[in-house]
Structure 1
């Protein structure tokens, strides 16, 4: 007898978010459990996966004292996942990459959209000294720009699409300034996550157990290689603004290190600290495609000479 949605959700809760345990409770195959969960996700009912190992259980306890959720887990059996990062939104018009992002989302209708950190810039609350007499936008002006741009992205997606936001080092500036200057108002003043209820915030998101998505890990020109080599998984990061895909393979199979570039213009005023130095930064974003739970080679949408290209075509 087929389970109703209510019965499946109840089994998920009884199984404490473990797909294997839900399969045991319901008698369904594990693939059927993942498929049913994905159908519910499309309708806006998101059932989170939790670790079932003793180590995972201990980590779940420790996570309660973290500033942000340590790791969220999800499954995409078939479909696309669009990942952008380092938007550093300031007031003004949308960048070429931002325009392309909206168009690609509307075309692909992704199963999930992930903002991989540094969406908020926080120029005025940086730990670094001002460059001079320039006037960067206020926190409110930046926040208003972020709210507008992120809401546009949510509207471009199909209804019920999960929206994830992995915290970046610039995003941290918002909550850190509050904690330093108004720590006694914890629970009274709104954190960054309170401003964006459409987006689920965490340090990282793991997809299908084999793809780790987080804002940053290794640095340097070989960061994507080192990330996937040392992480042991396909690793998708931002932070370095380089927009690159590095393949790797060993006895466990083929995987990739991905840098999601920057949604901002590398010549934008947010980056005056570069002092007009040459930089390998590139504007764009990444798209992951899953087939029967397996990740296919990652793709990039890349801005070249002011034009965004994806799959060989101008967007």
Structure 2
């Protein structure tokens, strides 16, 4: 016999009648949504739902049949150790104090610009940038976001036949291992999460939210094994008086002059990647005579992918020289035809 359709109000009337006779029923759909919202409030406050009800002035007892309603979320070990999906680390600042820091971004492994010649030697913008930074004797390398593409985890339509996520992950691990070997153990390497790395957490949130918090991209990439630091959840970064972002943290795109747009948004010295274009903008403040500037750094990926076959991208990297007083010099380099300019 099919179950009759009743409204939330009718359900609650039946529930109250049965409750008066000692029979407990679970709340109806609307009430369940309200309970779930209150559970979330209780979890964040670290109190039980009964305590939350008292704070809101409710005299209605919670239904004992609803799972976990009388459990104190704050008492569960580790429940508040991490962040929820979408929460940010705005209070965290990664400080880079090295005299010379190399910055690369947007390699989009495994679609980076790297090839072999007839003798088996590597060439392309990716290796050109690494060699130039090594020649500059940098003490810190900042992988400033979107080093991985995470193509298979994208919500976009897959118009190209690519290999599996496992293959992408294996390529990423090999590239990180190569970076450590290439620069040696004495160089600090910082991997900053970009919007493409964020695809991993977004995928889990869409497809397997139950696994969130148990699978972390830095662990899958083996960063600890290579002594590579992870800066995630849009935390801030500074090199002296220079702010460094990937670029996706800011609302809007790069526009005609990305460096100017980001400098105007930040109201301070800022360097970003993300837009795949090299640009620089500087302005002198008329009242105190000081300067603020913006830089956008070129990419190290394939310049003609299927999804953006015609674009204005260019290859590039940056080296930042830092003085003891926090002032700095940015060498924002372009790679053209395999040559650093």
Q: Normalised by the size of structure 2, how large is the TM-score?
A: 0.63
Q: Which residue of 1 aligns with 2:203?
A: 177
Q: Does 2:340 align with 1:309?
A: yes
- Aligned residue among 99, 115, 119 for 1:79: 99
In the alignment, the residues of structure 1 paired with residue 316 and residue 163 of structure 2 have an alpha-carbon distance, to the nearest angstrom, of 24
- Name the counterpart of 1:192: 217
Closer/same/farther in 2, CA of residues 252 and 68 from structure 1, 3 Å limit: farther
* Residues in 2 aligned to 1:95 and 1:136: alpha-carbon distance in whole angstroms: 23
1:157, 1:265 → 2: CA distance?
23
In structure 2, what is the Cα distance between the partners aligned to 1:181 and 1:95? 38
Distance 1:101 1:208 in 2: 20
Residue 273 of structure 1, aligned match among 297, 302, 307: 307
How far off is 1:302 after superposition?
A: 1.8
Aligned partners of 2:103 and 2:143 also within 8 Å = yes
The residue aligned with 1:284 is 316
Matched, 1:119 2:114: no
Q: Does 1:243 align with 2:243?
A: no
Counterparts of 1:151 and 1:101, CA distance in 2 = 17
**Displacement of 1:149:** 1.5
| Larger Rg computed on CA atoms | 2
Query: Contact (CA 8 Å) 1:96, 1:303: kept in 2 or not?
Result: no
SS at match of 2:231: strand
Question: Secondary structure of 1:261's partner?
Answer: coil
Matched, 1:207 2:233: no
1:261 to 279, 282, 298: 298
Runs of 4+ with deviation above 4 angstroms: 63-68
3-state SS, counterpart of residue 194 of structure 2: coil
Partner of 2:329, secondary structure, is coil
Task: Quote how far apart the aligned CAs of 1:160 are.
Answer: 3.9
Q: Which of structures 1 and 2 has the larger relative contact order (alpha carbons within 8 angstroms, sep 6+)? A: 1
CA distance in 1, matches of 2:262, 2:339: 27
For 1:208 and 1:199, locate their aligned partners in 2 and report how far apart those are by CA, in whole Å. Answer: 16
> Cα–Cα, structure 1 residues 254 and 98, in superposed 2: closer, same or farther, change >3 Å?
same
CA deviation after TM superposition for structure 1 residue 145, in Å: 1.4
Alignment check: 8 A CA contact 1:86 1:238 kept? yes
State the alpha-carbon separation in 1 of the partners of residues 262 and 328 from structure 2: 18
Do the aligned partners of residues 249 and 140 (structure 1) sit closer, same or farther apart at CA in structure 2, a change above 3 Å counting?
farther
- Equivalent residue of 1:289, what SS? strand
Q: Is the 8 A contact 2:241 2:328 kept in 1?
A: no
Residue of 163, 166, 171 corresponding to 1:145: 171
Return the alpha-carbon distance in structure 2 between the equivalents of residues 295 and 286 of structure 1: 16
Rate the CA distance shift 1:223–1:153 in 2: closer, same or farther, 3 A.
Answer: same
Q: Name the CA shift for 1:208/1:99 in 2 (closer, same or farther; >3 Å).
A: closer
1:95, 1:264 within 8 Å by CA — same for their partners in 2? no
**What TM-score do you get using the length of structure 1 for normalisation?**
0.68
Q: Distance in 2 between matches of 1:163 and 1:249?
A: 33
- In structure 2, relative to structure 1, the CA distance for the partners of 1:182 and 1:148 (3 Å cut) is same
Structure 2 counterpart of 1:230: 265
Query: What is aligned with 2:193?
Result: 167
Unaligned runs of 5+ in 1: 1-60, 311-315
Structure 2, unmatched stretches of 5+, are: 1-79, 116-121
Whole-Å separation in 1 of the counterparts to 2:324 and 2:100: 12
CA contact (8 A) 1:73 1:209 kept: no
